[in-house]
């Protein structure tokens, strides 16, 4: 008989503590008890690392229509126009709410309290519309919202709780629902159940599926994998955005060099000092990320160099220190002074444009289960994300989910089946986990990266199937740990990325296949997968 599993009940169960999860929790907390589960610290998220800011229309020379058109253009034909319209319309009001209600300290012109927001510009934007806090916007957003959440009497934030799987039911008539999760309490090494009418995936991205990434260690695509396993639809996972400029240094630890530097006039150069993007795109070094990342990738393959360089030396030194203090400080510790030195940069996996399919309010196709932020595929980003539309989507979906979630919830059962670990024992073969971790990330980088081919995708598909068999055997044989659970998730998501990429016989946005170099009208649609027609879960 399995041991009794502790069961915790709340009204709103939120998985993840980035902008999306925290904002949703704060918006609904006055209506009922909220429990937030996060597998590391409350501040650990992709939001924490976001440097650029949140795109929203505030300038007199800008308009909602222009923001809409910029988003659609970068999205390469796959944006869902109604979602884009909602996001750009609601963006300004939600940015003000972050500042006024939750105390996010966005930069103001002249640092005057009543002045308008200071606006930056990033790749693909035709106007300045990026609201920011120096070059540490995400950290400031996270600071304000985590503080507010910790101080709210109706919110419980539980750190070091790694979700294993979603709890769900399917009736004879085919109706489905989600009512919570099994989670590993890492501190006590025990499995607990968390039950709620409404479960919200706010688990972030999938950067750690790749060897080189700007993402923190927590970005292991847990939400996509868990949702797929219970039958939710996922889509467009072939569109992984590679940020063109991560710091290239052995001690940099995947440090991002914000696109805002290029927005202020930074120029990408080859080792010989020539302008890398000259003649390549009308916007030069500020071209959309997919274009810039491919140009850098091609240059590195052509030249054999290990990086290219970002030149800021022609700009005012005092301005650079005030606008980019965090980036300057990090570079300076490595012996790089952006006022005098070129910054060595390379592309790295950065943002997942696909995810769990949702509507404009974050509702998945499984009642009781919502998805918001990077884990979701709302249609805002299409085949390529416009810079700083990520935090915008997070807050727009969180706000939308908070409005409709009570009608979308499903009553959980009175009893929950106890977690049964069967004959599982503690592992004495941890080397298998670390070896498979490295192999998954290496094959994804080498065969499913910035540039793809049919042969590379076929090889990746064959290998990921074998790796997943080894991982699943390990999963059932040994007691669960965070490393094993994350490995299980990244290998499944990697398989889903490969499958989506293999089904798209064209080049579009972030998906570049040398065997199908043209964009084809018949593929102007989303690549959707479920357990019924995709890889085994």
Active site (catalytic) residues = 289
* Token code pair at residue 96: 């003000």
**CA separation for the pair 446, 211 (Å, rounded):** 9
CB 256 within 8 A of CB 388: no
Q: Where are the alpha helices (DSSP H) in 126-278?
A: 137-151, 222-229, 260-263
Strand 198-201: give its sheet, edge to edge: 155-158, 34-37, 12-15, 198-201, 369-371
SS3 content of the chain, % helix, strand, coil (to 5): 40, 20, 45
CB 259 within 8 A of CB 245: yes
Instruction: Kindly state the helix (H) or strand (E) to which residue 13 belongs, with its residue range.
Output: strand 12-15
Radius of gyration from C-alpha coordinates of the chain: 22
**CA separation for the pair 129, 305 (Å, rounded):** 35
Which residues make Cβ contacts (< 8 Å) with residue 384, sequence separation at least 6? 74, 75, 76, 239, 241, 288, 289, 290, 353, 509, 510
**CA separation for the pair 31, 49 (Å, rounded):** 31
**CA separation for the pair 8, 414 (Å, rounded):** 12
Strand partners, 240: 352
270 by Cβ neighbours in 10 Å (0-12 / 13-18 / 19+) ranks as middle
Strand ranges (DSSP E) for 141-250? 155-158, 161-170, 176-185, 190-195, 198-201, 234-235, 240-247
- Among candidates 355, 217, 212, which has minimal Cα distance to 293? 212
Helices 19-28 and 137-151 pack at an angle, to 10 degrees, of 30
């Amino acid at each position: 008989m399995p041991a009794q599993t502790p069961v915790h009940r709340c009204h709103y169960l939120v998985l993840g503590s980035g902008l999306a999860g925290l904002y949703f929790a704060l918006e609904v907390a006055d209506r009922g008890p909220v429990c937030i589960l996060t597998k590391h610290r409350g501040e650990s998220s992709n939001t924490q690392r976001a440097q650029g800011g949140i795109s929203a229309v505030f300038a007199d020379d800008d308009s909602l229509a222009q923001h809409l058109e910029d988003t659609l253009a970068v999205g390469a034909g796959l944006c869902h126009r109604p979602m884009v319209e909602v996001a750009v319309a609601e963006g300004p009001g939600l940015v003000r709410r972050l500042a006024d209600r939750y105390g996010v300290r966005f930069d103001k012109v002249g640092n005057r309290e009543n002045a308008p927001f200071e606006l930056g510009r990033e790749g693909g934007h035709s106007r300045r519309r990026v609201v920011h806090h120096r070059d540490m916007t995400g950290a400031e957003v996270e600071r304000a919202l985590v503080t507010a959440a910790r101080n709210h009497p109706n919110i419980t934030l539980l750190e070091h709780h790694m979700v294993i799987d979603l709890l769900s039911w399917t009736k004879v008539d085919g109706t489905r629902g989600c009512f919570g999760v099994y989670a590993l309490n890492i501190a006590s090494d025990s499995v607990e159940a968390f039950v709620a009418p409404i479960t919200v995936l706010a688990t972030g991205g999938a950067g750690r599926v790749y060897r080189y990434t700007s993402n923190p260690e927590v970005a292991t695509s847990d939400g996509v994998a868990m949702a797929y396993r219970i039958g939710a639809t996922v889509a467009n996972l072939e569109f992984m955005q590679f940020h063109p400029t991560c710091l290239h240094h052995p001690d940099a630890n995947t440090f991002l060099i914000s696109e805002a530097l290029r927005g202020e006039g930074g120029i990408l150069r080859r080792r010989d000092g020539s302008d890398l993007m000259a003649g390549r795109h009308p916007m030069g070094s500020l071209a959309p990320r997919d274009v810039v990342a491919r140009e850098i990738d091609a240059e590195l393959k052509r030249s054999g160099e290990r990086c290219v360089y970002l030149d800021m030396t022609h700009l005012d030194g005092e301005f650079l220190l005030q606008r980019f203090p965090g980036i300057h400080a990090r570079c300076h510790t490595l012996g790089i002074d952006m006022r005098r030195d070129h910054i060595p940069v390379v592309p790295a996996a950065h943002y997942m444009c696909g995810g769990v399919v949702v509507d404009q309010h974050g509702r998945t196709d499984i009642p009781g289960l919502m998805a918001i932020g990077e884990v979701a595929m709302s249609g805002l980003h299409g085949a390529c994300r416009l810079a700083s539309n990520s935090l915008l989507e997070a807050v727009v979906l969180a706000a939308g989910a908070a409005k409709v979630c009570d009608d979308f919830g499903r009553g959980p059962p009175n009893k929950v089946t106890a977690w049964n670990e069967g004959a599982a024992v503690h592992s004495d073969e941890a080397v298998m986990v670390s070896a498979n971790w490295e192999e998954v990330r290496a094959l994804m980088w080498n065969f499913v990266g910035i540039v793809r081919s049919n042969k590379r995708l076929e090889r990746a598909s064959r290998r990921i199937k074998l790796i997943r068999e080894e991982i699943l055997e390990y999963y059932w044989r040994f007691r669960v740990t965070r490393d094993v659970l994350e490995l299980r998730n990244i290998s499944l998501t990697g398989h889903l990325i490969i499958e989506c990429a293999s089904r798209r016989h064209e080049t579009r946005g972030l998906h570049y296949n040398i065997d199908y170099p043209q964009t084809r009208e018949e593929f102007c649609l989303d690549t959707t997968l479920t357990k019924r027609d995709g890889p085994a879960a």
